[in-house]
């Protein structure tokens, strides 16, 4: 499966490199685009779950790396949930 990395910038201007076991991320995000925090997280959940299921379909097991990535995104997003205008930028795809 083609995997990919993508970089995100959080509301505090910190950045993280993220992982997906599938190119499905490209269907959910556009580099340079800012997403309201809740929208970013919903898209992330959908995309990473689809990516994990694609691994399951091909190899017979879900992708723990995709689920670990989602857990890291959830933990970081929780820091900004009280900011009503919080947004996340998808900086680039690698």
60/82 Cα distance (integer angstroms): 39
Per-residue pLDDT reduced to its tens digit, 1-51: 689 999 999 999 999 999 999 999 999 999 999 999 999 999 999 999 999
Determine contact, residues 62/50, Cβ cutoff 8 Å.
no
* Mean per-residue pLDDT, 81-86: 94
What was the pLDDT predicted at 2?
84
Instruction: Provide the residue ranges of all domains of the chain, joining segments of one domain with +.
Output: 4-93
Q: pTM for this structure?
A: 0.93
What was the pLDDT predicted at 44?
98
Q: Tokens standing for 50?
A: 């689809």
């Amino acid at each position: 499966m083609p995997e990919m990395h993508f970089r995100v910038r959080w509301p505090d201007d910190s950045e993280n490199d993220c992982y997906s076991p599938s190119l499905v991320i490209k269907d959910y995000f556009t580099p340079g685009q800012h997403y309201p925090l809740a929208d970013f997280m919903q898209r992330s959940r959908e995309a990473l779950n689809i990516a994990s299921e694609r691994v399951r379909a091909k190899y017979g097991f879900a992708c723990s790396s995709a689920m670990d990535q989602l857990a890291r995104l959830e933990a970081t997003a929780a820091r900004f949930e009280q900011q009503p205008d919080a947004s996340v930028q998808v900086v680039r795809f690698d």
